[in-house]
Amino acid sequence: MDEICFMSALGLRAALGSRELSAREVVQAHLDQIERVNPAVNAVVTLVAERALDAAHAADELAASGAELPALHGLPVAHKDMHDTAGIRTTYGSPLYAEHVPERDELIVERMRAAGAITTGKTNVPEWAAGSHTFNPVFGVTRNPYDLDRSAGGSSGGAAVALACGMQPIADGSDMGGSLRNPASFGNVVGFRPSPGRVPSTTSRLGWSTLAVQGPMARSVADAALLLSVLAGPDARVPISLAEPGSSFARPLARDLTGARVAWSPDLGGAVPVEPEVRSVVEASAKVFAGLGCVVERDCPDFSGAEEVFRTLRAWQFEVQFGPLLATGRLKDTIVWNTELGRRLTGPDLGRAEVLHTELFRRVHEFFTRYDFLLLPVSQVPPFEIGQEYPPQVDGVRMESYLDWMRSAYFVSATGCPALSVPGGFTPGGLPVGVQVVGPHRADFAVLQAGHAFETATSFATRRPSLVTD
């Protein structure tokens, strides 16, 4: 195992800044790791090795000049295959775009490159990022490195696996119903769903929507905060973008949590079925926070209406995005189903969803006047068998659609609250389970602080898959 590949992003950046390591050494080490490990997991699906090494050479020349180095100087990253990269194939996991090469970088990629990150390629996604299991007809399935016969989650599944296997130190992702959090949980890494508008996106056709966000992934909360410090910040083209500068996330995360009020629930107040192995991890995490001096109580907001809010607004967004593509006959069945639901929506349907959305927000706001943080399961199941599109049942309850098993993540999406998936433990069989730390509206930094404290008090995030340690 190459030690460079499992250094923290912050540690790598410090070594690059002091010139203890060169960018070329760092990039080459990660390219070698991709060559060694990726054939077993299929996480990185497009590789631009020569381009990356050329960029590393330029980064080393910049360092030699004595110039001030940017925040992500020399750090290699393969971008999620949903994010446009200029001159690099971007397929969205769709056969319709199998050879698509964008002319411009998407804003999230543009910001990372401006901060000195070096693009090594692209990471795998489900077709059009729909569903939380990473497979598509262009590149096939991404495998979980802790058990190659299990799902890597999704839609940022390739990103999570690349992190877990030391193929990159940081990763960009996106999240509507759990796509930053579920794969982080399945891969024993960190995924942060920031507040809507925290990381602006100029590609959405529904610029006022708060359902889908972009955000960071990493192997530690501190590294995720480093990446967020680059991704966050306003953009005048995005109507919901938040004014707070990204630099506010570059502050130290250490915080004494003594007296912090923490609520926890293993099943969102009885709203969703959860497998016993996951419930036990959430309960154990509550005890960790108690040990940190927090006042911990079993409690949960009323998530009434969250189901209708999420499903209605998601279907509407699918119709806007995929309606023009239905006639091609080249969309997977679950996308067709979700898009057709959107086509059947009426004005009153959308109006009712927005009313329920507002009521949900106000109830959750009131809940957070009594608590600082909420602990929940990220996913209702551990990583499931790779041959299934989604789990057929959870704790004995049948799942009727590809969305049902993700409620523990997408109910939180509907609230607009920031939410962090942090490694929380393992099943008796050795499969990773993440814990979801949720905070009040726009309390992104506080959530990162809580996750950092939990991570520091435990050792789960340091455990690596045997695939890379044997």
Q: For 154-212, where are the alpha helices, taking DSSP H only?
A: 157-164, 181-187
80 is an active site residue:
yes
Q: How far is CA 69 from CA 19, 80, 223, 224, 419, in A?
A: 11, 25, 17, 19, 31
Q: Could you tell me the end-to-end alpha-carbon distance of the chain, in angstroms, rounded to an integer? A: 8
Choosing from 22, 151, 156, 179, which is the catalytic residue? 179
Q: Are 121 and 30 in contact (CB under 8 A)?
A: no
Choosing from 22, 80, 195, 241, which is the catalytic residue? 80
466 is an active site residue:
no
179 is an active site residue:
yes
Backbone angles phi, psi at 256, to 5 degrees: -80, 115
Q: Considering only CA atoms, which of 37, 41, 275 is closest in space to residue 150?
A: 41
Q: How far is CA 163 from CA 77, 121, 169, 369, in A?
A: 10, 14, 6, 36
Q: Which residue has the tokens 């490990």?
A: 37
Which letter does DSSP use for residue 355 in this model? H
Q: Considering only CA atoms, which of 102, 198, 93, 101 is closest in space to residue 155?
A: 93
Give the type of residue at 82.
M
- Name, in order, each residue with C-beta under 8 angstroms of 234's C-beta and a sequence gap of 6 or more: 200, 241, 242, 243, 244, 245
Choosing from 94, 132, 151, 155, which is the catalytic residue? 155
Q: Which residues are catalytic, by number?
A: 80, 155, 179
